[in-house]
Amino acid sequence: MLRIEKLTKRFGVNTAVDAATLDIDKPAMIGIIGRSGAGKSTLLRMINRLADASEGRILFEGRDVTALRGAARRAWQSDCAMIFQQFNLVPRMDVVSNVLHGTLNRRSTLATVFNLYPTADIHRAIEILDRLGIAEHAPKRAEALSGGQQQRVAIARALMQDPRIILADEPIASLDPMNAQTVMEALRRIHDEDGRTVICNLHTLDTARRYCDRVVGMRDGRIVFDGLPAQLTTGVAREIYGAGADFSEAATSTEIDTLDASIRAARKGAAPVY
């Protein structure tokens, strides 16, 4: 379905992504982990074509996505939704308008600039918001919502695109543990119920293990691990993060359960072992 071949991105002398190769043959929920600067965001931005690749190809169902220009590129972007760490909504517009932005590629410029969306689209936008549990916030301005709610609006915008793939770039990094759980569960549900492929950059191992079918580890722009969550041992994690023996998963965790576990372990007088 999606094939990435030796994808490389250079910024001047720095190589952000170095000959990344990845093959996704059926819809799945995939987590990409690695420390900051490992090239996770750049990889997703190249798939969405927000950034151009320096070398290599991205193939979607046999079509070379990296070669698309102009309208064809924008059509691909509408098929390949992106969710950002900082939500990237238009803060002064209401929630439904933000969700309707997911249809911009299909509608005429003049109609959208004057906010003339079809009634059916507006109804669908509110139904999607209801599915994510935030329909009652529909008429509010996006900036009036909490972080977790805003991220769900961003997911609703992505769903409004009716995309083949959803890319999520650190979707929970700015959220507290409760909101993080809601957002991750929403993404998982979208994969389970709609069968869409979700590729998700994450910075905590336990999140990747808990929600993803497959985990990809990146270090210094290279893909250094590609396997099942169960194969992701502490040793492998140390290698991905380039950490020493003092590396503890609990220290980076945002899960409430892990926190409890590590506190319990600390009370027992033993360091948490994973």
Q: Which chain residues interact with another protein by CB under 8 A?
A: 11-12, 14, 16-17, 36-42, 96, 114-116, 119, 122-123, 126-127, 130, 135-136, 138-139, 221
* Least spacing, CB of residue 154 vs another protein, in Å: 19
Rounded CA-CA distance 273/255 in Å is 16
Nearer to another protein, 38 or 199 (CB): 38
What element of type H or E holds 154? helix 147-160
List Cα–Cα distances, 172 to 9, 132, 265, in angstroms.
Answer: 25, 15, 26
Radius of gyration of the chain (CA): 19
Nearer to another protein, 42 or 77 (CB): 42
Rounded CA-CA distance 244/72 in Å is 46
* Least spacing, CB of residue 47 vs another protein, in Å: 14
- Token pair 């109609």 is at which residue? 111
SS3 11: strand
CA angle, corner 86, sides to 178 and 186, nearest 5?
A: 45
* Least spacing, CB of residue 1 vs another protein, in Å: 25
* Least spacing, CB of residue 36 vs another protein, in Å: 8
Nearer to another protein, 133 or 227 (CB): 133
* Least spacing, CB of residue 15 vs another protein, in Å: 10
Rounded CA-CA distance 199/158 in Å is 13
* Least spacing, CB of residue 124 vs another protein, in Å: 10
Nearer to another protein, 74 or 107 (CB): 107
Q: Which two tokens stand for residue 117?
A: 């969306």
Nearer to another protein, 127 or 257 (CB): 127
- Token pair 């979707």 is at which residue? 171
Strands 222-227 and 29-33: unpaired
Nearer to another protein, 36 or 109 (CB): 36
CB crowding 68-101: b at 16 or more within 10 Å, else e: beeeeeeebbbbbbbbbbebebeeeebbbbbbbb
- The DSSP 8-state label assigned to residue 140 in this structure reads S
* Least spacing, CB of residue 137 vs another protein, in Å: 10
Nearer to another protein, 68 or 135 (CB): 135
